[in-house]
């Protein structure tokens, strides 16, 4: 069963799309509809449907602004609009498809196939992440695993010099002068690295305590084996000194 949510400021548009979806397939269930984008955002913070049908032209908040504010994106997004000039922009905002109003049954059929394919890929990705989490939770292991560039990478913790945050990405600096960029926030990387040898020294950095060469107290940074200089946050200074 595909659980769908519809966000559109026009009640008639919601009724029309709901009718199309439920009459198109018995596998589709409309779990919630919203005419107010803010209320929809609150609902989606704690609820994850299989797909979201989102109108672009809404008076208080357009569809693209809605997507910018959306914190939970673990579902397929389909843009609905009466104007095809939004198509490219929709796809750039990570929508899997767009539907022109009034909705054509052939287009809807194609969209539903994309939703099923998206959910299948997401399920596989979640399975992999769960397996990696179990591996990384093993205290006896000296390796950590990461999903990057379509590959599962096994790293010896001794190889890692430090990790730097870049928003939703993190860059792992290795002792062979290589860098590894992964789509994980620094806080998530921090949970899989062993506490005994790694410390989040700054909001933007985790360091391998065994690879610190110098700590310059007066200047407020450490020098790694690689000669990289990493700042020590003031509020983390005392905790850092306790770890040394």
Q: Answer yes or no: are the C-beta atoms of 96 and 76 closer than 8 Å.
A: yes
State the maximum Cα–Cα separation within the chain, in Å, rounded to a whole number: 71
pLDDT of residue 206: 96
The residue assigned the tokens 């052939």 is: 106
Question: Would you say residue 87 has pLDDT above 80?
Answer: no
The two three-digit tokens of residue 61, written as one number:
């908040």
Both tokens of 200, joined, read: 């989040």
* Of 134, 126, 123, 232, nearest in space to 192 by CA: 134
User: Mean pLDDT for the chain?
Assistant: 83
- C-alpha 232/C-alpha 244 separation (Å) is 13
Question: What is the rounded distance in angstroms from the CA atom of residue 155 to the CA atom of residue 194?
Answer: 13
* For residues 74-98, average pLDDT: 72
Domain extents in the chain = 2-132, 143-243
CATH of domain 2-132: 3.40.50.2300
Kind plus residue range of the DSSP H or E element containing 80: strand 76-81
> Distances in Å between the alpha carbon of 38 and those of 34, 45, 81, 192?
9, 11, 19, 35
More confident residue, 37 or 92: 37
Cα radius of gyration (the chain): 23
Tell me what percent of the residues of the chain surpass a pLDDT of 90: 36
Name the CATH superfamily, with its identifier, for domain 143-243.
LytTr DNA-binding domain (2.40.50.1020)
User: Which of 44-58, 91-105, 128-142, 214-228 has the least mean pLDDT?
Assistant: 128-142
Q: What does pTM read for this prediction?
A: 0.50
Give 29's contacts (C-beta < 8 A, 6+ positions apart).
1, 2, 3, 4, 22
The pLDDT of 127-131, averaged and rounded, is 44
Greatest mean pLDDT range, 80-84, 105-109, 118-122, 201-205: 201-205
Could you give the CA distance from residue 206 to residue 202 in angstroms, rounded to a whole number? Answer: 7
Going by the DSSP 8-state scheme, the letter that residue 103 receives in this structure is P
Kindly state the tokens that stand for 41.
């955002």
Please report which confidence band the pLDDT of residue 167 belongs to, taking 50, 70 and 90 as the band edges: confident
């Amino acid at each position: 069963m595909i659980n769908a949510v519809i966000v559109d400021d026009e009640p008639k548009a919601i009724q029309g799309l709901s009718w199309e979806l439920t009459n198109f397939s018995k596998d589709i269930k409309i779990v919630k509809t919203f005419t107010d984008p803010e209320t929809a955002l609150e609902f989606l913070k704690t609820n994850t449907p299989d797909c979201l049908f989102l109108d672009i032209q809404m008076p208080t908040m357009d569809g693209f602004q809605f997507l910018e504010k959306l914190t939970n994106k673990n579902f397929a997004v389909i843009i609905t609009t009466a104007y095809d000039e939004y198509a490219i922009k929709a796809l750039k905002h990570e929508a899997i498809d767009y539907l022109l109003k009034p909705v054509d049954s052939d287009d809807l059929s194609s969209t539903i196939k994309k939703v099923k394919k998206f959910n299948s890929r997401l399920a596989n990705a979640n399975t992999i992440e769960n397996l990696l989490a179990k591996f990384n939770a093993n205290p006896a292991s000296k390796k950590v695993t990461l999903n990057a560039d379509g590959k599962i990478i096994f790293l010896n913790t001794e190889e890692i010099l430090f990790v730097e945050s870049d928003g939703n990405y993190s860059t792992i600096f290795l002792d062979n002068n290589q860098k590894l960029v992964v789509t994980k926030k620094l806080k998530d990387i921090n949970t899989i690295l062993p506490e005994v040898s790694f410390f989040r020294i700054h909001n933007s950095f985790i360091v391998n305590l065994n690879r610190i060469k110098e700590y310059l107290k007066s200047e407020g940074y450490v020098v790694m084996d690689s000669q990289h200089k990493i700042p020590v946050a003031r509020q983390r200074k005392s905790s850092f000194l306790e770890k040394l």
